[in-house]
Structure 1
Amino acid sequence: MADISSLPKRSTIGKELPSLDTCGATAGEEAKETPDIRLKAASEDSPGTRTSTQLALPAVENGLAPPSPRVTISTQSSPGTLSRSSSQAYSVQAPDEDDDCYHVRATYARLDHEGVPGDGYEEGIERTRTRVVSSYSMNDGKEQTVSDLSEKEVQVLRSLDRYGSLEFSSAAHHDARLALLPASPLRRDLSRVKLSSRSAPASPPEVRAPPQLRKLPKDKENERIDKWDRMMRVSTRDNGGNIAAWTFDERKGRKLRSRLYKGVPDRWRGAAWWSVIEGVAHGLGRLSSRPAADHLQRRYFELVDQPSTFDIQIDLDVPRTITGHVLFHTRYGLGQRSLFHVLHCFSLHCSECGYVQGMGPIAATFLCYLQPERAYSCMVRLHDDFHMHSVFQPGFPGLLENLFVQERIMERMLPDVYSSFGKNMISSTAYATKWYITLFANVVPFQTQLRIWDAFLYEGPDLMVVMAASILWALRADYLASPDATFETILSLLSSYFVPEDENLLMTWIRHTLDDKKLREDMTRWRSEWTTLVERGESARALL
């Protein structure tokens, strides 16, 4: 099952809230002053003090890009003194809130106000687990503008790929082995195969380095961008006239699915995901029966200041979530703070699900393209409309349902793999849990994950089952169904980080499989059968 750390009831962390220095601190620094911020109620402003923060934001493409970490700070306050506007979000501890949970929440809120030096190119320092305490000084009332790029910033920016991944750390980012997902089996559509009897190597050749990004020819890429330019239409604008949401041109609706499978141009991905998730593309008529997007975004800002018993565990997981991406590289940087807030709010959305580790990579992926309040809204949509509630529930009933459907496909179409797994006592939960809980984040290259999500947000949960089947199909004949395959070789292979030899061929195979109406009907029937088995208490014997 999923590797989910238990939430500690109490830690040994002290009870004093640190004063954080915007100019940075080291773990060995002594505090000149340690103000007890919890004693400062929101209404207790000191007369004559003023603290303000402005975010100097670049132009937002399509109205949906996350804000830049560039910060301009202007302040006139004494060290250790916070104004009402900056302290009201975290200066009051909830009556039943654990001290350590409050410390975590207050630290993130304060760093939202102060910012973090070196955001995006420095590692940053740990504050919540070590209770680093430093002097609080804001340049004695002088205005500080972070504008000129340092040599290190330039070096990091030059090392980024087009998606924001740090290329110099990408190799170290993957703990699992890299395995090639061969293209030749994917040239044949899913169909029932004969039992295999030939010997083969235990696993495919190991990939020695992360794959190079697939780059379309410039004219082809521009052609796709132009098509999306013509297909997207402004849906709503805010009071300032800025674009708030997009929709799809109804005349080009029949081309939407095809274009999603071909991959959304990165500049349009945030707008496309938001529009598809909100049901505009489907015309499903679900908007009347669920909270409006504006309501969910307002709800995000309400929940940010409420206590959560999961804050300590979320804080532990945030710094190890896709740290190879520049947005999440710096401890307590803009990306990590946004990720904490989204997960904090989402842990309060459903008391039954709370928080599990698989939520982190999903929220982080949304934050690469959407503002935090919209990322939270998308998480709620996945929970409510894409059956992720049952995947995140204790016991992971939705995960087991997906595995049941996957095994029925294996039993019908890949009987040799199904037989090999039974002979070697391979449980589907042993290798596929991470696939479904994280929606294939950190299982395939980031650009491949984005392509999968482009189609998943349109197709729904069945696509993830077919994606799992594509891995088994591609590795079937030569490795998984080989008479030489063993428990160790199969699990080692299926725990790999999969690098598709041909990403376009993979997406075409998935699309053709989901085009099979008979298979889609069977998948729906198998889900109903699983529900019946659960009601009868017979589900435990239904899986490998």
Structure 2
Amino acid sequence: MDVPALAFSRSSSASSNNTTAVSERHTRKSSEHTLFDLYGMYEDAPSDVPPLPAKDVPSVRISRATLNGHSSLAYYDEEPPIKPPPTRIIDLTRAGVLLNGPPRTSSLRPVSDCMVPSPVASYEDRRASTGHLHSPSPSSTSRRTSPRPDSILGLPPLPPSRNPSPSPTPPPPTLTQAPIPLSPSLPLKHPVSGPSKTSLVPSEGEDLDGFYVRNTYAQLDMSGVKGDGYEEGVERTRARIGNSRSSQLCAENAIGDGTEKSQELDPREIETLLSVDRYGFFSTPSHDRLILLPSSSFDKRLSVVRGGAATAKASAQALNAVPPAAPPVKEASRIEKWTRMMQAGSRDQGANVQTWRVKQSKQSKLRLRTYKGVPDRWRPAAWDMFMATMANATPADTARLARDYREALDKPSTYDIQIDLDVPRTISGHVFYRTRYGAGQRSLFHVLHCFSLRCEGCGYVQGMGPIAATLLCYLDPEKVYASLVHLHDSYSMHAIFSPGFPGLLEAIYVQERITEQMMPDVYKAFQSHTISTTSYATKWYITLFSNSVPFQTQLRLWDAFLLEGPDVFVATAVAIVWVYRDQITSASANFETILSLLSSFFVPESEDALLLWIERVLGTKKLRASMVRWRADWQALVRDGKEGMALL
């Protein structure tokens, strides 16, 4: 099985949005435990890969007031430019890498300075399509000869502002060009959907702002965008494009023109690909508080313990940066073991493997090998197998969900505007999500759009973004949609995302019972300092630890979660409290120090030590039975209306 082309990692983002305001524990309603703001967990980051333009997509325009050259608008230019953007020359021989043989006729290429001068390059594949890297060639300076369909030049303008300001000067004329047919021999690098009427015209009663967002993504999905992965791109939906000629040119020139299908890499793309880590990150997101999760704490099994010395420090060891993701030491040997353990479960008519399963003789080895880490090469197959097993899904069920996904693409969602706002800031520093409206951001928008239509009760919440973005690093959009459905239906995520977050509160109740039983002094410290578990653990459960640990650690936790279910994250939360029990019970600890400590970004000294500690905890039959009982107790409290008094 192929590695998911650049096994992506996302030391993603976490920032700290530490919730405060903890009121008296006996007067707090259950709904108060769910108040939080996830915006702070995400940092603005764009995205990656493009599809191809289509000549026959009809141009759609929404009647609106003329856009104003107001200084608050994006890409506003105080003085309308007169000259076209200058060009500069790039010598490809200085890019450091030459691919696929000798250079072409000339290694010098003009590049427009209108483009964002990012030195970072595009990750042009999608594992599901070609299995290896493709790349766009650099854009030509002469934008007038760019082959681009009329439908793309006619991307719909923004709906009128409710309070339009008068335009001080007449807007410059709109630039138009005659489209130049694209060569039919150029291969597609990314699967795209065909044009759809319902994506190109508003549905009856659809909000025009929401339609504008949906339509923009639909048209750019046909054309792609330039510099996907190594340029920032041009904002089109969250802010207006300015009226000046240079702003309009930049917006127009950012649209794909067919050169993105070139088999050769742009020098900036080469530079980016040389700079990314094994998971696709070209930069490590910054975090307010980085602390070490020492492995020595995991030498002792979970058992009843008292608090540490009163003189213990109230703070943990801080780190300056997240360590780079290193290849697992035993990755090669584990790949061989998984290859011997797995076999094809079903094949399509072309004999391609559709599903995988574990050989009967190797079933006893699956759990421990999963906790030791699924190799990146096998992770897409393993995750798909784990979720299908948990959901009892058949290949026919998967095909049905794929049809549901394609049909939902053309339906309006009341959440489209909010999803569009959240997409660029979901994962920071990852090549696949770098470029605005690149293939990564488009795929993320489409998956979240479709899933928001799946369940009226859940709709869309911000915690869904990091989950979908992580899945997209290994699976194609249709399978990611199916995976979200499985998580929703079979992993209790419906209860996590439903109004009031009842599943979140249930998980926190179980966590508190384990803490009270195994670490009574820690539980008393939480009580005395009036620290509610929701104030620090909410984001852990809502995002499945996507923004609290390094990406490679998150992947290891997800391996276990997808195999065993939601108890894995309860055990992970207990593990963090277990490690810092001495700091929490310190005589110098207070509300601020404890909350700051538990709202940090945790960097395990040893991922193996953390995962094997969790494996031992969940392998304890007595504790697992208690967790089942505590979940039932919580449901009884909810039925009796007493849940508000049951949490810290």
Which range, TM-score by smaller chain? Answer: 0.7 to 0.9
Which piece of structure 1 moves more, 248-257 or 354-363?
248-257
In structure 2, the partner of 1:255 is 365
1:427 aligns with 2:532: yes
Q: Which amino acid aligns with 2:270?
A: V
1:418 aligns with 2:466: no
SS of match in other structure, 2:200: coil
Against the structure 1 CA distance between its residues 446 and 405, is the aligned structure 2 distance closer, same or farther, given a 3 Å change threshold?
A: same
Larger Rg: 2
In structure 2, the partner of 1:127 is 236
Q: 2:598 aligns with which of 485, 490, 494?
A: 494
Q: Which amino acid aligns with 1:472?
A: V
1:165 aligns with 2:274: no
After superposition, what is the alpha-carbon deviation per residue over 1:256-286, rounded to whole angstroms, capped at 9, x for unaligned?
Answer: 111110101111101110011100xx6x8x3
Offset at residue 150 of structure 1 (A): 2.7
Question: Residues 504-523 of structure 1: matches in 2 within 5 Å?
Answer: 504-523=608-627
Q: Which amino acid aligns with 2:562?
A: L
Q: Which amino acid aligns with 2:524?
A: S
Q: 1:154 aligns with which of 259, 264, 270?
A: 270
Matched-pair identity in %: 50
For the residues of structure 1 that align with 2:508 and 2:616, how far apart are their CA atoms? Answer: 21
For the residues of structure 1 that align with 2:524 and 2:212, how far apart are their CA atoms? Answer: 53
1:186 aligns with 2:298: yes
SS of match in other structure, 1:471: helix
SS of match in other structure, 1:244: strand
For the residues of structure 2 that align with 1:386 and 1:276, how far apart are their CA atoms? Answer: 11
Q: 1:207 aligns with which of 302, 305, 319?
A: 319
Contact map agreement 1:65 1:369 (CA 8 A) in 2 = no
Contact map agreement 1:199 1:483 (CA 8 A) in 2 = yes
In structure 1, the partner of 2:645 is 541
Against the structure 1 CA distance between its residues 535 and 306, is the aligned structure 2 distance closer, same or farther, given a 3 Å change threshold?
A: same
For the residues of structure 1 that align with 2:539 and 2:584, how far apart are their CA atoms? Answer: 19
Contact map agreement 1:339 1:367 (CA 8 A) in 2 = yes
For the residues of structure 1 that align with 2:256 and 2:295, how far apart are their CA atoms? Answer: 62
For the residues of structure 2 that align with 1:531 and 1:426, how far apart are their CA atoms? Answer: 23
Q: 1:115 aligns with which of 220, 224, 244?
A: 224
Q: 2:286 aligns with which of 169, 174, 180?
A: 174
Q: 1:272 aligns with which of 376, 382, 392?
A: 382
Offset at residue 246 of structure 1 (A): 2.0
In structure 2, the partner of 1:400 is 505
Q: Which amino acid aligns with 2:313?
A: P
For the residues of structure 1 that align with 2:557 and 2:213, how far apart are their CA atoms? Answer: 34
Aligned residues: 492
Which piece of structure 1 moves more, 443-452 or 150-159?
150-159
For the residues of structure 2 that align with 1:64 and 1:342, how far apart are their CA atoms? Answer: 17
Contact map agreement 1:174 1:497 (CA 8 A) in 2 = no
For the residues of structure 1 that align with 2:396 and 2:212, how far apart are their CA atoms? Answer: 32
SS of match in other structure, 2:597: helix
For the residues of structure 2 that align with 1:142 and 1:109, how far apart are their CA atoms? Answer: 17
Asked which structure has the greater RCO (Cα within 8 Å, sep 6+), the reply is 2
Contact map agreement 1:164 1:327 (CA 8 A) in 2 = yes
In structure 2, the partner of 1:86 is 195
After superposition, what is the alpha-carbon deviation per residue over 1:82-108, rounded to whole angstroms, capped at 9, x for unaligned?
Answer: 999535352121111100100110111
For the residues of structure 1 that align with 2:257 and 2:563, how far apart are their CA atoms? Answer: 51
Against the structure 1 CA distance between its residues 360 and 145, is the aligned structure 2 distance closer, same or farther, given a 3 Å change threshold?
A: closer
Contact map agreement 2:308 2:581 (CA 8 A) in 1 = no
Q: Which amino acid aligns with 1:418?
A: Y
Offset at residue 3 of structure 1 (A): 1.1
For the residues of structure 1 that align with 2:619 and 2:382, how far apart are their CA atoms? Answer: 22
In structure 1, the partner of 2:348 is 238
Against the structure 1 CA distance between its residues 323 and 143, is the aligned structure 2 distance closer, same or farther, given a 3 Å change threshold?
A: closer
Q: 2:587 aligns with which of 483, 486, 493?
A: 483
In structure 2, the partner of 1:49 is none
Offset at residue 199 of structure 1 (A): 1.5
In structure 1, the partner of 2:336 is 226
Against the structure 1 CA distance between its residues 145 and 522, is the aligned structure 2 distance closer, same or farther, given a 3 Å change threshold?
A: closer
Q: Which amino acid aligns with 1:532?
A: A
After superposition, what is the alpha-carbon deviation per residue over 1:12-35, rounded to whole angstroms, capped at 9, x for unaligned?
Answer: xx96599xxxxxxx935899xxxx
Which piece of structure 1 moves more, 236-245 or 496-505?
236-245
For the residues of structure 2 that align with 1:78 and 1:434, how far apart are their CA atoms? Answer: 45
Q: 1:27 aligns with which of 52, 75, 78?
A: 75
For the residues of structure 2 that align with 1:448 and 1:69, how far apart are their CA atoms? Answer: 29
TM-score (norm 1): 0.84
Offset at residue 323 of structure 1 (A): 2.3
Contact map agreement 2:226 2:260 (CA 8 A) in 1 = no
For the residues of structure 1 that align with 2:570 and 2:255, how far apart are their CA atoms? Answer: 55
Offset at residue 81 of structure 1 (A): 6.8
SS of match in other structure, 1:179: strand
Offset at residue 190 of structure 1 (A): 0.3
Which piece of structure 1 moves more, 144-153 or 88-97?
144-153
For the residues of structure 1 that align with 2:498 and 2:396, how far apart are their CA atoms? Answer: 21
For the residues of structure 1 that align with 2:301 and 2:533, how far apart are their CA atoms? Answer: 23
For the residues of structure 2 that align with 1:268 and 1:140, how far apart are their CA atoms? Answer: 33
Give the unaligned 5+ runs of structure 1.
6-13, 19-25, 32-55
For the residues of structure 1 that align with 2:65 and 2:226, how far apart are their CA atoms? Answer: 20
Contact map agreement 1:277 1:457 (CA 8 A) in 2 = yes
Against the structure 1 CA distance between its residues 138 and 322, is the aligned structure 2 distance closer, same or farther, given a 3 Å change threshold?
A: closer
For the residues of structure 1 that align with 2:359 and 2:485, how far apart are their CA atoms? Answer: 26
Contact map agreement 2:413 2:453 (CA 8 A) in 1 = yes
Q: Which amino acid aligns with 2:445?
A: F
For the residues of structure 2 that align with 1:118 and 1:315, how far apart are their CA atoms? Answer: 20
Offset at residue 510 of structure 1 (A): 0.1
Contact map agreement 2:135 2:265 (CA 8 A) in 1 = no
Offset at residue 151 of structure 1 (A): 2.7
For the residues of structure 1 that align with 2:38 and 2:255, how far apart are their CA atoms? Answer: 43
Contact map agreement 1:67 1:371 (CA 8 A) in 2 = no
Write 1 or 2 for the structure with the bigger share of helix.
Answer: 1
For the residues of structure 1 that align with 2:462 and 2:600, how far apart are their CA atoms? Answer: 19
In structure 2, the partner of 1:308 is 413
Contact map agreement 1:401 1:527 (CA 8 A) in 2 = yes
For the residues of structure 2 that align with 1:139 and 1:485, how far apart are their CA atoms? Answer: 55
In structure 2, the partner of 1:3 is 37
SS of match in other structure, 1:176: coil
Question: Residues 328-407 of structure 1: matches in 2 within 5 Å?
Answer: 328-407=433-512
For the residues of structure 1 that align with 2:220 and 2:544, how far apart are their CA atoms? Answer: 30
Against the structure 1 CA distance between its residues 181 and 451, is the aligned structure 2 distance closer, same or farther, given a 3 Å change threshold?
A: same
For the residues of structure 1 that align with 2:148 and 2:535, how far apart are their CA atoms? Answer: 57
For the residues of structure 1 that align with 2:429 and 2:255, how far apart are their CA atoms? Answer: 32
SS of match in other structure, 2:321: coil
For the residues of structure 2 that align with 1:184 and 1:190, how far apart are their CA atoms? Answer: 13
Offset at residue 498 of structure 1 (A): 0.1
For the residues of structure 1 that align with 2:256 and 2:287, how far apart are their CA atoms? Answer: 46
Against the structure 1 CA distance between its residues 130 and 260, is the aligned structure 2 distance closer, same or farther, given a 3 Å change threshold?
A: same
Offset at residue 70 of structure 1 (A): 4.3
After superposition, what is the alpha-carbon deviation per residue over 1:154-194, rounded to whole angstroms, capped at 9, x for unaligned?
Answer: 2211111111112xx31xx2333101111111110100012
Contact map agreement 2:306 2:520 (CA 8 A) in 1 = yes
Contact map agreement 2:223 2:255 (CA 8 A) in 1 = no
For the residues of structure 1 that align with 2:214 and 2:132, how far apart are their CA atoms? Answer: 21
Offset at residue 2 of structure 1 (A): 2.9
SS of match in other structure, 1:330: coil
Offset at residue 310 of structure 1 (A): 0.3
SS of match in other structure, 1:315: helix
Against the structure 1 CA distance between its residues 15 and 506, is the aligned structure 2 distance closer, same or farther, given a 3 Å change threshold?
A: farther
Offset at residue 78 of structure 1 (A): 4.4
Against the structure 1 CA distance between its residues 4 and 308, is the aligned structure 2 distance closer, same or farther, given a 3 Å change threshold?
A: farther
SS of match in other structure, 1:278: helix
Against the structure 1 CA distance between its residues 87 and 131, is the aligned structure 2 distance closer, same or farther, given a 3 Å change threshold?
A: farther
Offset at residue 223 of structure 1 (A): 1.1
